[in-house]
Amino acid sequence: MKVTRLGRLAPALAVAALVAACADQPTPFAPSLAPTSPSLSVTGKPNLGDRLSFEGELWVCKDGTPSAQSFNFDYLVTNTSDQSTVASGTVAVPMGQCVMAASVATTASGSFDATVTEQNPLPAGWALTSIVGEYPTGVTPPTPVVSLASYSISGVRINNDWGAVVTFTNTYTPPPPAAVVLQPDPGLLEEPHGRLG
């Protein structure tokens, strides 16, 4: 009786095809567009309809993929008349929350420009997708300058009459699942060494 190579190879190929059909294939991640405005309802955000409730205050909010992650922000507030520093520091903002970073006296006249920068590099898997500056309803100061490349917003105008809220949105992309590569048992594919019979 002769055993052909095809006769021995057919069962091995059938097993390999069955295993491959049952294996879970990794799901590709579809790219998504960055939001242009905050997507979570962040807590602690000042009421933009009530400018008197946050006069002279600079608020930083963190929006994005829900997590327990906190992010650090450096801020600098300068007097627009002489560029002197009025306030500076670092504030930690948990995801989904807002924190008052700085305030100026509401009894003094004048205006102030704030710059807020998210510290980077960000933790693995996180990306900055948008920065939005907001003012109280009815207030139209100069438009702030947003730079995603430098993780910052500058020219945020505050004074004794109004404050401002800046919201940084970060999204998290998990790493893709590890690929599974199935290889047939090399022993099943060997040439027959002799004849059965």
CA distance 57 to 93: 16
Q: Which residue has the tokens 């800046």?
A: 166
Question: What's the pLDDT at 24?
Answer: 41
Question: Band of the pLDDT at 168, cuts 50, 70, 90?
Answer: very high
Q: Looking at the predicted structure, is the pLDDT value of residue 90 above 80?
A: yes
Residue 77 in contact with residue 111, Cβ under 8 Å? no
Domain span at 165: 51-172
In a domain, 99, yes or no: yes
Average pLDDT over residues 3-24: 45
Q: Looking at the predicted structure, is the pLDDT value of residue 183 above 60?
A: yes
| Residue 95 CB contacts under 8 Å (≥ 6 apart), including other chains | 40, 62, 63, 64, 65, 66, 67, 68, 69, 70, 71, 170
Q: Looking at the predicted structure, is the pLDDT value of residue 76 above 90?
A: yes
In a domain, 1, yes or no: no
Question: What's the pLDDT at 176?
Answer: 84
Q: Looking at the predicted structure, is the pLDDT value of residue 34 above 70?
A: no
CATH number at residue 87: 2.60.40
Of 53, 56, 48, 57, nearest to 138 by C-alpha is 48
pLDDT tens sequence across 43-66: 889 999 998 899 999 999 999 988
Q: What is the mean pLDDT of the chain?
A: 80
Q: For the chain, what is the domain count?
A: 1
Average pLDDT over residues 144-153: 97
